[in-house]
């Protein structure tokens, strides 16, 4: 039997009627669909970040802190608040998911005068952030890193992806601008769609509306987005049929906060409302399929 695409090649099984070159294409396509394509070969992030979360003794849940929009290097960066958060995660062995914009990375082409105002240069921002995150990485507490639009500034100008470099240095998954995640907690499996985001929403209501519109496309237990510098969580209930029965499911929506102080910053200059600083803690329960978000 000959391959239908390459008649000069003999077909192999499975599937029948394709040759070895076609079979390799078929395998790579299948791996891409299930998120197993080798990043080292194709040079791009994984599609699905699969993590097993350990549950502490006497607890019925695993905890994850969604930390992002730190903007290290900005004069408004609340460094002490951020350091207390990662020290808390390190001391209590709480998982951390990095949402992007970890550093300011102002350039001559970026909006505003940040290139003149940032307190340390971009490379020093990178080195300091890696140093602070290493203890968490060494304990296996960093679940992955998204690339923010501030890190993208470096890639846009130079072709150097500093988020990917940070992921390699810390030996953690690089998730690109957006990524699916599967968190296994005991026998429960939670689907999480994560992205840094690019919304220009100015107020809490419009930021949440932007996330709700986005979340329509993703059947996830949790949709988490950064960038908006808001501390907001909500949920929507939807129905679907399972084995001929109508069941209700809850989809949690989360905008993951920031560490930029208001006074003297961009938000004050353009008249945006003051937002609460910090990061949300998300509990994924082991004995029931449930999520709880607190700040």
DSSP-derived secondary structure for the chain: -B-SS-TTSBPBSSSTTB-HHHHHHHHHHHHHHTT---HHHH-S--SEEEEE----TT-SEEEEEEE----BTBTTB-HHHHHHHHHHHHHHT-EEEE-S--B----TTSSSSHHHH-SS-HHHHHHHHHHHHHHHHHTT-EEEEPPPHHHHHHHHHHS--HHHHHHHHHT--B-TTEEEEEEEETTEEEEEEEE-------SHHHHHHHHHHHHTT---SEEEE-SS--EEEEEEEEEEEETTEEEEEEEEEEEE---B-STTSHHHHHTPPP---S--EEEEESSSS-EEEE-
- Residue 40's pLDDT is 45
Q: State which residues of the chain have pLDDT below 50.
A: 11, 37, 39-43
- Residue 269's pLDDT is 85
Identify the CATH homologous superfamily for domain 49-294.
Metallo-dependent phosphatases (3.60.21.10)
**Residue in 31, 60, 61, 64 with CA at minimum distance from that of residue 47:** 31
- Residue 114's pLDDT is 84
Q: Could you tell me the residue ranges of all domains in the chain? A: 49-294
- Residue 31's pLDDT is 59
- Residue 16's pLDDT is 54
- Residue 271's pLDDT is 85
Q: Quick one: tokens of 145?
A: 């890193």
């Amino acid at each position: 039997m000959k391959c239908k695409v390459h008649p000069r090649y003999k077909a192999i099984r499975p599937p029948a009627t394709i040759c070895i070159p076609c079979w390799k294409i078929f395998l790579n396509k299948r791996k891409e669909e299930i998120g197993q394509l080798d990043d080292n070969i194709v040079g791009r992030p994984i599609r699905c970040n699969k993590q097993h979360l350990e549950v502490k003794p006497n607890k019925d849940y695993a905890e994850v802190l969604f930390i992002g929009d730190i903007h290290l290097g900005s004069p408004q960066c609340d460094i002490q608040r951020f350091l207390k958060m990662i020290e808390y995660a390190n001391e209590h062995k709480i998982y951390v998911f990095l949402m992007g914009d970890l550093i300011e990375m102002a350039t001559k082409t970026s909006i505003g005068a940040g290139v003149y105002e940032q307190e340390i240069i971009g490379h020093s921002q990178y080195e300091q952030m890696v140093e602070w995150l290493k203890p968490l990485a060494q304990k296996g507490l960093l679940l992955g890193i998204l690339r923010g639009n501030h890190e993208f500034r470096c890639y846009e100008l130079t072709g150097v992806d500093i988020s990917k470099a940070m992921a390699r240095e810390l030996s953690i998954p690089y998730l690109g601008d957006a990524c699916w995640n599967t968190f296994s907690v005991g026998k429960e499996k939670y689907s999480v769609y994560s992205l840094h985001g690019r919304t220009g929403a100015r107020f809490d209501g419009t930021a949440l509306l932007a996330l709700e519109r986005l979340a329509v496309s993703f059947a996830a237990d949790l949709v988490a987005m950064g960038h908006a510098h808001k501390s907001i969580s909500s949920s929507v209930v939807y129905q679907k049929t399972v084995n001929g029965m109508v069941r209700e499911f809850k989809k949690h929506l989360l905008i993951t906060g920031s560490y930029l102080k208001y006074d003297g910053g961009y938000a004050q200059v353009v008249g945006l409302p003051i937002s609460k600083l910090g990061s949300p803690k998300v509990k994924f329960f082991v004995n029931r399929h449930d999520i709880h978000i607190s700040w």
